Chain A
Amino acid sequence: MEVLRPATLAEALEARSARPEAFPIAGGTDVMVAVNFDRLRPEAFLDLSRLDELRGWHEEDGEVVLGAGLTFARIERELASLPALAQAARSVGSPQIRARGTIGGNLATASPAGDALPALAAYEADVVLGSAARGERRVSLREFLLGPKRTSLEPDELVLAVRFRSPHGPGSFSKVGTRNAMVIAVASLCLQLDEDARAVRVAMGSVGPTVLRATEAEAFAARALAEAGAFDAAAAPVPAATLREFGQLAGAAARPIDDVRGTAAYRRHAVEVLARRALSWALEGRPAGRRAAG
């Protein structure tokens, strides 16, 4: 076994191409668990933690661009302007995990419970992939995430960044688990109002093979909010029955399974409740950082 330690992105892409069997490691918060428990013994590691090119975030052509090496701690500290994503980052593991775990790792690991994924799905983000041979390509999150721990990343590619238009409108991320810290989501949900497009976007985690959009619920909510005049007047009342029906449609879009963390029935119920609450928070313009209680 050996550890390849490229100092630049160009070197990293060359190494990735020359040694596709080398397992990429960035923050290590998933990879090292597998190593420590003898479940992963690659011929080599490709250490991405030294690549300054991937570490930061910036705005470009009207989009927010998050480098793959951006940590959850920095998202939490620096991206309060994206409340749903910042709340998702805040809910990852513990301070120690957030100091190391990266957005690129969340993407490449492609866990159905990846905390950042519902927010990125609700932002309709694209993933930027790179290889030495073919340069950069950009794919939608839907094209990137194929299933549990499966992505469309080619063996010679690395995740370079994720990019999206910053949404105009309130948004939130909420997550159900057994305690506030160190929790793998039993169910999670991101709701983002897009006031420019007069749309509501809902993405759910841990209730399907990968992050799921609740498209019928989205269309229903957009229609109901338009009819109630809620896109034009923040105070326009939206009937409670509308919120309930919206929650039921979100629950119906879930494709959960029974596992050690919860039953399928509980998960479907959980996203119904999260969806209903998230829409009411968005409408009330309630402060960011709220958690679903009970």
Chain B
Amino acid sequence: MLVRTRVNGEWREADVWPGASLLSMLRDDLGLLGTKNACEQGECGSCSAWLDGEVVCSCLVLAAQAEGREVRTVEDLADGDRLHPVQQAFLDAGAVQCGFCTPGMVVAATDLLERDPDPSDEAVREALSGNLCRCTGYQKIVDAVRLAASRAGGGA
């Protein structure tokens, strides 16, 4: 079936199997490989993307449900070669090891900072509670979010 969705500001169309997820449409049909596929059951957060402004697990959205809606993915963040401040903070803080969880983490962290520019540690951990990282132990990821917040002038 044909699904027409606005992805990162541009109308895109894909011919998908009716049971396909939004994640599968993004990756397999639209070639947006930044959104990662891991658990396919909403446990890991590596497929996090914005749907109508809210961060969701794209593996749990039927592609057909995104018809006519606004989708934003991790590819929307960098400006050409210039990384988004949250991406840069992840690099600078050493918050990236294998890198597989990173796009989902960056999406969840960016969403948090767009809503709350100076979040408490608890708010950071809460915002990232749906994103699993099996390498870092999370501390450097929390540091990265704090670094991004402080560079944006949002506090300490």
Contacts and interface: CB of A to CB of B under 8 A. Distances in A.
Interface of A: 1-3, 5, 25, 27-29, 32-33, 35-37, 41, 44-45, 47, 49, 73, 93-97, 99-100, 180-182
B25 interface: no
A36 B59 contact: yes
Contacts of A181: 126, 129-130
- Counting chain B residues whose Cβ lies within 8 A of the other chain, the interface size class is 20 to 34
Across the A-B interface, the 3 shortest Cβ-Cβ residue pairs = A94-B130, A181-B129, A3-B64
Prevailing SS type, chain A contact patch: mixed
Given A94-B129, A180-B129, A32 B62 contact: yes
Interface of B: 1, 17-19, 21, 40-43, 45, 48, 54-57, 59-62, 64-65, 67, 108, 126-127, 129-131
Given A1-B17, A1-B19, A182-B129, A97 B62 contact: no
From B18, B60, B108, name the one whose CB has the most chain A CB atoms within 10 angstroms.
B60
20 contacts: A3-B1, A28-B62, A29-B42, A29-B60, A32-B60, A32-B62, A33-B60, A35-B19, A36-B40, A36-B59, A44-B18, A47-B64, A95-B126, A95-B127, A96-B42, A96-B55, A100-B56, A100-B57, A100-B60, A182-B130
A47 B62 contact: yes
A222 B101 CA distance: 50
A77 to B, nearest CB: 11
Contacts of B56: 96, 99-100
B151 to A, nearest CB: 23
Contacts of A27: 60
B61 A32 contact: yes
Given A47-B64, A99-B54, 6 more contacts: A32-B62, A45-B18, A45-B19, A95-B55, A95-B108, A96-B57
B130 A28 contact: no
B63 to A, nearest CB: 9
